[in-house]
Amino acid sequence: MAPSELAETVRAPTRPAWLRAVRPWLKFKSASSIAVLIVLVICAVFAPLVAPFDPQLQDLSKAMLGPSMAPFHPFGTDHVGRDILSRVIYGARISMIIAVAVVAISGACGLLLGVISGYFGGRTDFFIQKIVEVFWAFPPLLLAIAVVAFLGQSLGILILALALQRWIPYCRVARANALTLKEREYIVAARSLGASNTRIILRHLIPNLFQSALVIGTFAMAAAIIAEASLSFLGLGVPPDVPTWGGMLADGRAYVSTAWWIAVFPGMAIFVTVLAINLLGDVLRDNLDPRLKRSGKLV
C-alpha cells in the first residue's frame, strides 16, 4: 500500500458538521462569560472609583426617579433617593467576596475530608461519610437561616453559614476519585519507597483533584450568590446598612408597581452574574473532563 493511501487510512475521522457549527458558539460562550466576570471583578475591587455616588447617600428630593427622569442616575433612584447604579456596583463587591470565600473554605475542607475518607477507608471512611449524611439531611438554605438567626448578622457568619454544607459535593467527588487513585502504580510506588501518607495525600492525590474541584467550585459560586441574595432578601444576610443585591430586591418589593427599576436592576445583576458563572463552569467542564474528550463530544 502506498504511503499516501496508508495515511488516508489512519487519518482521524472528520467531526460531524453540527459539531463544527457549534464551535463558534462555544468560543462566544466562554469569551462572553469571562468578559462579564472581569467587569464584575473590576466593579467589586474598584467600587469607590467606579460608582458615581455614595451608595448610602440619601436625597429625598430625588426619591423614586426613573431611569429616564434622572440624567445623572442611569438606573434611577430608590425610595429614599439613593442611586441604584452605585448600590448595584457595591452589591457586586459583597456577592464576589461571599462567593469566593464560600468556595475556598468549602472546597478546601471538602477535598481534604474526601481524600482522607477514600484513601484510608475502613472506620475513617465510615465516620466521615456519616458526617456527610448528617449534614446532607438539612436543606442548605434552612440550615443557613438557622445559623444566621442563632449567631447574628455579619459577613463572617454569613460565609460560615453558606459554607457549612457546601463542602459535601467536594467531599463525595474527592472520595470517589481517591478510591481509584490510591490503587494506581505511582501511588503504590511512592508508598513502597517509604513516602508517608501525608506526603502521598498532599503531593499526589490532591493535585489530581484540582480539575474536578475547579468545575464544582465554579457552579458553587453561582449557588452561593443566589443563596446570599435569598438570605439578604429575607433580612438575614449582612447588616442592613451594607448594600446587597438581595437587600435591594427586598427594598423594591413594595414598589414593583410604581418604581419597577428598584427591583429590576439588582435582579438583572443577579441573573447576568449567575448566568456568566454557569456558562464558564460549563466551558470548564467540557474542556477539563477527559471522558468527554475521549468520546469525541468536544469540538
| Residue-wise pLDDT tens digits, 58-76 | 888 888 888 877 678 899 8
For the segment 141-165, the average pLDDT, to the nearest whole number, is: 89
**Mean model confidence pLDDT for the chain:** 84
Does 269 score more than 90 pLDDT? Answer: yes
| Residue-wise pLDDT tens digits, 18-61 | 445 555 656 777 788 888 899 999 988 999 999 999 999 888 88
CA distance 157 to 150: 10
CA distance 198 to 222: 33
Long-range contacts of 257-264 (CB under 8 A, 24+ apart): 258/64, 259/64, 259/66, 259/76, 259/78, 259/79, 261/66, 261/67, 261/75, 261/76, 261/84, 262/64, 262/76, 262/78, 262/79, 262/84
Residues 6+ apart with CB under 8 A from 141: 227, 230, 231
Residue 169's pLDDT is 92
For the segment 213-228, the average pLDDT, to the nearest whole number, is: 91
Residue 10's pLDDT is 45
For the segment 83-95, the average pLDDT, to the nearest whole number, is: 92
| Residue-wise pLDDT tens digits, 239-251 | 888 899 999 999 8
Residue 264's pLDDT is 93
Nearest to 227 by CA among 278, 149, 166, 282: 166
User: What share of the chain has pLDDT > 70, as a percent?
Assistant: 87
Say if CB 94 and CB 242 are below 8 A apart. Answer: yes
Domains of the chain: 26-53+67-281 (1.10.3720.10)
Does 187 score more than 60 pLDDT? Answer: yes
Say if CB 83 and CB 53 are below 8 A apart. Answer: yes
Q: Tell me, what DSSP letter sits at residue 77? A: B
